[in-house]
Chain A
Amino acid sequence: MITPGRQITEEACQDCLVGFGNEKLRQDFPALRQKVRGKPLIYLDNAATSQKPQAVIDTIVRYYLSENSNVHRGVHFLSDLATQAYEGARIRVRQFLNATHDREIIFTRGTTESINLVAHSFGRSQLRAGDEILISAMEHHSNIVPWQIVCEEKGARLRVIPINDAGELILEEYERLVSDRTKLVSVVYVSNALGTINPVRQIIALAHRRGIPVLLDGAQAAPHLRVDVQELDCDFYAFSGHKLFGPTGIGILYGKTDLLEAMPPYQGGGDMISAVTFEKTIYNSLPYKFEAGTPHIAGAIGLGAAIDYVQRIGLDRIAAYENDLLAYGTELLSALPGLRIIGAAREKAGVLSFVLEGIHAHDIGTILDHEGIAIRAGHHCAMPVMKRFGVPATARASLAFYNTREELDALAKGLHKVIEVFA
């Protein structure tokens, strides 16, 4: 894997820059061609959601135009077509994650629902009073609140691995927190607020020595890092389609077969059963046990198309290009007077979170918006992270492979304007 945050060599760059950031790849994204507020759109809010390539849009349109039908139900032609496309998407996801079995891939609404599924199903069936769930201080609210809900119900305790001033997990503290009471470790792979890439291999290895399963929140990792769940040996992996250039409303929960088999259903309804009487219901096998009701068929197929698109480019090449872009942006922004970058992890991906002295992030966001530059201003659904760094909010520019150095130049220019307004 490429070490993020490191300036890559000129030779390597020549290769990885081919096709990136320039018009050829950007042409695949119709939304990037528009003007907003009379200026060409500079979209730097990719950690919130990514733009969609034409291939994904076409796939969804084609589905509704000529393949639309319910899955796993009909004997007719269209139902078979839709089922094949839907199950085909599951295979694409399985290959993308290099999971062993298709049955380990569960379609959900997104990362949030994936984590809630594990919290409610695994958590409710496994947790006893006094047990502990371990998360980190840089979690998104979606990897905090589901655990608080189930911990409160079960009398279990939520414990938090602290982070240092650079925004890195303190592994010694993690080691101290892991105990026989720990029933699950649930940590983010790449932080949405800081960009930190966590040392998940070490985290997993340590937990596994005590037989503790590990869930990885891969929402931000999915569009930046190649993931192999067998190599990582994580027990659960969650991510969203929409951050990976796919549609909203579709996400994935990967889980190891033995864990998923032992877990009770999360929701009841159609498709998740094999036989129902008023006395007893026999649940369907994996993955359908966890897919109650008509799924987001178009979303799943769209996600399959997004994975195809990303894999044609190659996530290793994407990571290399983005590392270069991140290093460039970090240097550019650091040179601005009064600007402080929040999150200086050695291993970092795609996020430039920052504050300007005396200027609130919300004002930065409004002024940049007038320059056609879209960034996020706020707490990024990670209020404990803001508290840790003593700021009410940060401004965040988050990168995708279609962003360019020129766009970061425009960001720096826009920030100069912000400073001028408040001078």
Chain B
Amino acid sequence: MSDLSDLYQEVILDHYKRPRNFRRLEEANRKAEGHNPLCGDEITVYLQLDGDVIKDVSFEGAGCAISKASASMMTATLKGKTKAEAKLLFDKFHKMVTGDRDSRSDPIGLGKLEVFCGVSEFPVRVKCASLAWHTLNAALEGKAEPVSTE
């Protein structure tokens, strides 16, 4: 049976209570909104792109512990990364939280984000963990429409 402490790890609770980069980014040149209609989570991701490099990234919004911590840790990880690196991380992260076997046995390069590994045992919470990433993806691609997890 899945264990609650796999989901609500210390690091996750810490990022939920003290989210990093939780602000509006005045210098942002990309922005996207995302929401999860199932639970009412809402997020705005701000990006400051310098060519292909993510110079700065931040977020605002309201959500559950998983979605907020995921957004917080995502922004902390992405600073200085290129667009291509960010997309690769998203792909790996998505595979990890959806329980893709290959990535679980070999979660290279996810670093601290591996703390979200336990989400795969809670299928209804996968959308919470991936909302920020889907929204980031929309911001990277310059989509105008808000992202919905439905």
Contacts and interface: CB of A to CB of B under 8 A. Distances in A.
A363 B8 CA distance: 9
Given A363-B65, A421-B4, A378 B39 contact: yes
Contacts of B40: 378-379, 383, 386, 392-393
Most buried by B among A361, A366, A386: A366
A392 B41 contact: yes
Contacts of A379: 37, 39-40
Contact of A362 (B13, B17, B42, B64): B64
- Which size bracket describes the interface of B in this complex? 20 to 34
B65 A392 contact: no
A363 B63 CA distance: 10
Nearest to A371: B4
Interface in B1-43: 1, 4, 7-8, 13, 17, 37-42
A392 B13 contact: no
Interface in B38-65: 38-42, 62-65
- Which size bracket describes the interface of A in this complex? 20 to 34
A174 to B, nearest CB: 28
A184 interface: no
Dominant SS among interface residues on chain B: mixed
B66 interface: yes
Contacts of B39: 360-362, 377-379, 392-393
B128 interface: yes
Contacts of A393: 39-40
A21 to B, nearest CB: 29
Contacts of A363: 8, 64-66
Contacts of A422: 13, 17, 65
A360 B1 CA distance: 24
Nearest to A361: B39
Interface of B: 1, 4, 7-8, 13, 17, 37-42, 62-66, 122, 124-125, 128
Given A362-B41, A363-B65, A367-B8, 16 more contacts: A37-B1, A38-B1, A358-B17, A359-B65, A360-B64, A361-B39, A362-B66, A366-B122, A367-B4, A379-B40, A392-B39, A392-B62, A392-B63, A393-B39, A421-B8, A421-B13
The 6 closest A-B pairs by CB, nearest first: A360-B64, A392-B40, A362-B64, A393-B40, A362-B39, A392-B62
